[in-house]
Amino acid sequence: GYPYSFAAGLTASSSLISPVMPPSIPAVIYAATATVSTGALFAASVIPALLMAFGLCVYVFIWTARRPDMARAPFSLQRLRKAAIGTIGPAFVPVILLGGILSGTFTPTEAASVAVLLMLILGPIYRTLTPRVLLQSLRETAAITGGIALILGAAALLGLILTRAHVSRDVAELLTSVSSEPWVFMILVNIVLLILGSA
Q: Which of 156, 88, 94 is nearest to 125 (CA)?
A: 88
User: What pTM does this model have?
Assistant: 0.59
Q: Give me the tens of pLDDT residue by residue for the chain, a chain 199 residues long.
A: 678 888 888 888 888 888 888 777 788 778 877 778 877 888 888 899 999 999 999 988 888 888 877 766 777 888 888 888 888 888 888 788 778 877 878 887 788 788 888 888 888 888 888 889 889 989 998 998 898 889 888 888 888 898 888 887 887 787 778 777 788 878 887 888 888 878 6
Task: Please tell me whether residue 141 adopts helix, strand or coil conformation.
Answer: helix
Q: Which of 103, 11, 8, 112 is nearest to 56 (CA)?
A: 11
